[in-house]
């Protein structure tokens, strides 16, 4: 904890709100105990731009109750409190021990983000693998330290790298593709097999000329970059053999081949044949890397593919294989796997954080 000997300062802390709260609180607890004024920021990504301060406050109240602070919105408060603010001018009202959570950084202009930095004296990065350009912008002219969660994940990554062996099997899901082209290229080069699901699989299927209906994809993805990956790593990339589709989450569910998807349907999970086929590859792996969900895991009926494969990951880990996962916070509680994996970092689903680091 020597790295966080910060007291009586205004501290700007970058965190990953997609992590479980127990991962986030150690750094904040130390900083509040040392009577700092704490400004907490997080980058939620494009898919969560609707998370304004009011919505963020409601979402975070449940998480940060463990800090034993009353949670309000500025400016009405009795200290010490945790506050949720969209107006950075209100930060001037902070007192020692206060925590102010500022809304999604994607909603702030570059000028507003720069203003946040001007209010602080110290920058603490507790979001492992966060975008370097964002860190540089937030940390400008400030002394910089690593948070406890960031250091923990770095230690886990070092352990993973020291134990990794071939063949490396990559399970790739989630939504975002744009901005990650180089990362994916490097990681696919290192992997022996790449099992693709989720919205990235939807994107790959669309680029190949298949109908994907109303399925979620990254609309900002570079088509040329997708085609290059499909061409360069054709023998490694394994796309779904069957998918679970519906017109909405409440309507009748069907399992079809990708070639059978209709314009009014959307892909919500990988199918049982795909799950079985992907399982065969996972069983061959000595090193297993996971990034992103393979379906709409927030709804149990669309989490079967992710559930089955993540359980297989756990069993492989129990037999001495190394598993690293970078998937959404909703997955582990749903599967009750917290104690099953020897190395499992639940990182930002909006970014391929783990892949970014591993590909370097």
Is the pLDDT confidence value at 277 over 60? Answer: yes
- 36 compared with 110, residue with greater pLDDT: 36
Per-residue pLDDT of 38-67, as tens digits, reads: 888 877 654 444 444 455 555 556 555 545
Topology at the third CATH level for domain 2-148: Rossmann fold (3.40.50)
Candidate from 83-92, 154-163, 346-355 with smallest mean pLDDT: 346-355
Mean pLDDT, residues 269-294 taken together: 92
Q: How confident is the model at residue 235 (pLDDT cuts 50, 70, 90)?
A: very high
- Place 272 in a pLDDT band, splitting at 50, 70 and 90: very high
* pLDDT at residue 101 tops 50: yes
pLDDT at 234 over 50: yes
pLDDT at residue number 1: 44
In the chain, ranges of CATH 3.40.50.1260 domains: 2-148, 164-358
Q: Average per-residue pLDDT in the chain?
A: 78
Q: Tell me what the mean pLDDT of segment 22-30 comes to.
A: 82
- If one compares 34 and 22, the residue with the highest pLDDT of the two is 34
Percentage of residues in the chain with pLDDT exceeding 70?
A: 69
Give the pLDDT of residue 25. Answer: 80
Q: Which residue has the higher pLDDT, 352 or 280?
A: 280
Does the pLDDT of residue 18 top 80, yes or no?
A: no
pLDDT tens digits for range 282-302: 999 988 888 888 999 888 899
The candidate with the shortest Cα–Cα distance to 125, out of 277, 257, 252, 13, is 13
Q: For residue 80, what pLDDT band results from cuts at 50, 70 and 90?
A: very low
SS3 string of the chain? CHHHCCCCCEEEEECCCCCCHHHHHHHHHHHHHCCCEEEEECCCCHHHCCCCHHHHHHHHHHHHHHHCCEEEECCCCCCCEEEEECCHHHHHHCCCCCEEEECCHHHCCHHHHHHHHHHCCEEEECCCCCCHHHHHHHHCCCEEEECHHHHHHHHHHHHHHHHCCCCEEEEECCCCCCCCHHHHHHHHHHCCEEEECHHHHHHHHHHCCCCCCCCCCCCCCCHHHHHHHHHHCCCCEECCCCEEEECCCCCCCEEECHHHCCCCCEEEEECHHHHHHHHHHHHHCCEEEEECCCCCCCCHHHCHHHHHHHHHHHHHHHCCCEEEEECCCCHHHHHCCCCCCCCCCCCCCCCCHHHHHHCC
The per-residue pLDDT for 77 is: 43
CATH topology classification for 164-358 = Rossmann fold (3.40.50)
Region 200-223 average pLDDT = 94
Residues with Cβ within 8 Å of residue 253, at least 6 apart in sequence: 244, 245, 246, 268, 301
Residue whose tokens read 């693709």? 196
Q: What is the pTM of this model?
A: 0.69
Q: How confident is the model at residue 158 (pLDDT cuts 50, 70, 90)?
A: confident
- When mean pLDDT is compared across 204-208, 255-259, 282-286, the lowest value belongs to 282-286
How far CA 338 is from CA of 46, 155, 273, 350, in Å, comes to 28, 18, 27, 21
Query: pLDDT value at position 180?
Result: 75
- Kindly tell me if the per-residue pLDDT of 149 is higher than 80: yes
More confident residue, 268 or 1: 268
User: What are the tens digits of pLDDT across the range 309-352?
Assistant: 988 887 887 776 666 665 544 454 554 554 444 444 444 444 44
The share of the chain scoring above pLDDT 90, in percent, equals 35
Mean of the pLDDT values across residues 247-266? 90
């Amino acid at each position: 904890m020597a790295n966080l000997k910060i007291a009586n300062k205004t501290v700007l802390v970058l965190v990953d709100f997609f992590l479980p709260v127990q991962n986030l609180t150690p750094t904040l607890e130390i900083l509040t105990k040392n009577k700092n004024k704490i400004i907490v920021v997080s980058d939620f990504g494009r898919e969560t731009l609707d998370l304004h301060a009011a919505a963020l406050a409601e979402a975070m109240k449940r998480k940060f109750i463990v800090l034993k602070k009353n949670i309000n919105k500025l400016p009405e408060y009795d200290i010490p409190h945790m506050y949720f603010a969209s107006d950075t001018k209100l930060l001037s009202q902070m007192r020692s021990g206060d925590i102010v959570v500022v809304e999604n950084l994607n909603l702030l202009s570059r000028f507003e983000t720069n203003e946040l930095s001007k209010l602080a004296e110290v920058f603490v990065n507790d979001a492992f693998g966060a975008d370097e350009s964002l860190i540089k912008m937030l940390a400008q002219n400030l002394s910089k330290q690593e948070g406890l969660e960031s250091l923990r994940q770095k230690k886990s990554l070092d352990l993973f790298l020291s134990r990794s062996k071939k063949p490396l099997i990559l399970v790739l899901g989630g939504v975002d593709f744009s901005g990650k082209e180089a990362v994916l290229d490097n990681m696919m080069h290192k992997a022996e097999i790449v099992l693709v699901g989720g919205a990235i699989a939807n994107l790959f299927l669309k680029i190949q000329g298949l109908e994907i209906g109303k399925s979620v994809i990254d609309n900002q993805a570079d088509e040329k970059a997708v085609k290059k990956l499909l061409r360069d790593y054709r023998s490694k990339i394994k796309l779904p053999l069957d998918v679970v589709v519906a017109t909405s989450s409440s309507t009748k569910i069907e399992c079809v081949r990708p070639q059978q998807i209709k314009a009014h349907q959307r892909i919500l999970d990988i199918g049982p044949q795909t799950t079985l086929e992907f399982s065969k590859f996972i069983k061959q792996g000595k090193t297993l890397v996971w990034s992103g969900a393979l379906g709409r895991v927030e709804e149990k009926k669309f989490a079967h593919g992710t559930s089955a494969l993540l359980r297989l990951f756990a069993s492989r880990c129990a037999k001495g294989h190394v598993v690293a996962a970078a998937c959404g916070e909703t997955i582990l509680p749903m599967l009750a796997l917290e104690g099953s994996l020897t190395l499992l970092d639940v990182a930002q689903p909006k970014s391929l954080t783990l892949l970014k680091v591993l590909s370097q």
